[in-house]
Amino acid sequence: MIKAIEYFIEILRGSVITARHFFVNMFFHILKVMGIKTKRKGAVTIQYPEEKKELASRHRSLHRLMKRENGKPRCVACMLCVTACPSECIYVEAAEDPDLEIQKYPAKFIIDLSRCCFCGFCVEACPEDAIRMDTDQIELAQYSREDLLYDLDKLIG
């Protein structure tokens, strides 16, 4: 019996805390809707997607492949990103470049975003600064897995 009473007291206590947060947040939300600024931050959830939060400067968003001055990819198909990727979602097919300074270029470069965990290891591993994750694009949902395969055309910035 005592256990049951303690149980209901805890439920009541939890309900009071939840209700308190609800009404306090609602109060600040109404103030915000009325255009009244308060010192309190974080009382209101961002009204996404109409309202968007600025991304942090070190965020990781959709990948892009960097270009050389002549428009060709900076990537030299060294496979370091492929090796570093924990999700095994990068596929690179190397081809020989007639320029001996470059030696190789990616004939195919595909990232399967349906498997990518946005860890950024590929960016860290690249010795040529050929791949970056700074496009600010984070809305990447698609209706099919095929649309999440990003090839050279889609990735080249």
The vertex-129 CA angle with 97 and 65, nearest 5°, equals: 70
Stretch that binds ligand SF4, among 7-15, 27-35, 114-122, 148-156 (CB under 6 A): 114-122
Cβ-proximal residues to 127 (8 Å cutoff; 6+ apart), any chain: 78, 80
79 lines the binding site for ligand SF4 (CB under 6 A) = yes
Report the nearest approach of ligand SF4 to the CB of residue 145 (Å). Answer: 15
Number of residues that bind ligand SF4 (CB under 6 A): 27
Asked whether 125 and 133 are in contact (CB, 8 A), the reply is no
Q: How far apart are CA 60 and CA 118, in angstroms?
A: 7
Q: Is 146 left (phi over 0), alpha (psi -120 to 50) or beta?
A: alpha
Pairing of strands 90-96, 104-112: antiparallel
62 lines the binding site for ligand SF4 (CB under 6 A) = no
Give 15 or 142: the residue with its C-beta nearer to ligand SF4.
142
Report the nearest approach of ligand SF4 to the CB of residue 52 (Å). Answer: 22
Report the nearest approach of ligand SF4 to the CB of residue 58 (Å). Answer: 14
117 lines the binding site for ligand SF4 (CB under 6 A) = yes
Give 25 or 87: the residue with its C-beta nearer to ligand SF4.
87
Tell me how far apart the 2 most distant CA atoms of the chain are, in Å: 85
128 lines the binding site for ligand SF4 (CB under 6 A) = yes
Binding stretches for ligand SF4 (CB under 6 A): 75-81, 84-87, 89-90, 92, 111, 116-122, 125-126, 128, 130-131
